[in-house]
Structure 1
Amino acid sequence: MTGEVVRARRDMPLKSLIPVTERLCRGVDGVVSVAEHIAYRIDDARSSPGG
């Protein structure tokens, strides 16, 4: 694969998984761009242990 663009469209259970998914896509040899359109169900970045 050379010079490919990845288009990610998906529903993720947690918002924190979006950057992980993006990094995995960018790590594939030949990928030059990642266009993400990913929704999430839970914004786990806002929740903190103990309130």
Structure 2
Amino acid sequence: FESGITAHWFGTVPAVVMGGIGTLVVTGVWIKLFPTLANRDRMHVPVVEPKV
């Protein structure tokens, strides 16, 4: 819904550019707010399966 409204108000290309910039801003903010999450190599503990 908001993407269509933004494209209607500003035009298609500016709406896409603003969406991309917004995504990068949110990513940067999350990296600053949650540095341990940003520095994780994996999101789960590796499972060692028995060899058959």
Query: Normalising to structure 2: TM-score of the pair?
Result: 0.30
Is the strand fraction higher in 1 or 2? Answer: 1
Higher RCO (C-alpha under 8 Å, 6+ residues apart): 1
Query: Normalising to structure 1: TM-score of the pair?
Result: 0.30
Of structures 1 and 2, the larger Rg is shown by 2
Is the helix fraction higher in 1 or 2? Answer: 2
